[in-house]
């Protein structure tokens, strides 16, 4: 199965595999937040609309919403983050994924950036 990674203006990444998107925050986002001390995740089964606040990340500096980059139903959340929110700082693009969505409208992926475009966006 092909995996595609896309990025949002709000510094979330999506790893697309088939009709499932795994969503997390970028390394750039965690570096701006500082030490993450708490993560609140959406409930499994919740239907999210594109741009709706889905999760909350709290750091020593600030609390930030994590928005749903696309519409879909929450299939799974990363319960490891509740016990170890610092994973966001150590492995933002890997173990610290936030939630998985069943993609409801693939056309919404069209407005997202590939890695090259995202690197330009944060430069």
The predicted structure's pLDDT at residue 1: 73
Q: What domains are defined for the chain?
A: 3-104 (2.40.50.100)
For the stretch 48-83, pLDDT in tens is 999 999 999 999 998 999 999 999 999 999 999 989
Q: Report how far Cα 102 is from the mean position of its chain's Cα atoms.
A: 14
Q: What is the DSSP letter of 28?
A: H
Q: How far apart are CA 56 and CA 53, in angstroms?
A: 8
- Where are the extended beta strands (E) located within 8-123? 12-17, 20-25, 36-40, 47-48, 53-59, 63-67, 72-77, 99-103
Is 15 buried (19+), middle (13-18) or exposed (0-12) by CB count in 10 A? middle
Positions of the chain with pLDDT lower than 70, given as ranges = none
């Amino acid at each position: 199965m092909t995996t595609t990674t896309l990025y949002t203006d709000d510094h979330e990444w999506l790893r697309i595999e088939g009709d499932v998107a795994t969503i997390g925050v970028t390394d750039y986002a965690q570096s701006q937040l500082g030490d993450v001390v708490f993560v609140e995740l959406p409930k499994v089964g919740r239907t999210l609309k594109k741009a709706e606040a889905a999760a909350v990340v709290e750091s020593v500096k600030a609390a930030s919403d994590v928005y749903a980059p696309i519409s879909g139903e929450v299939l799974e959340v990363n319960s490891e983050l509740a016990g170890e929110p610092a994973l966001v700082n150590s492995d933002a693009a890997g173990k610290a994924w936030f939630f998985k969505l069943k993609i409801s409208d693939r056309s919404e992926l069209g407005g997202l950036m590939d890695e090259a475009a995202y690197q330009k966006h944060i430069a």
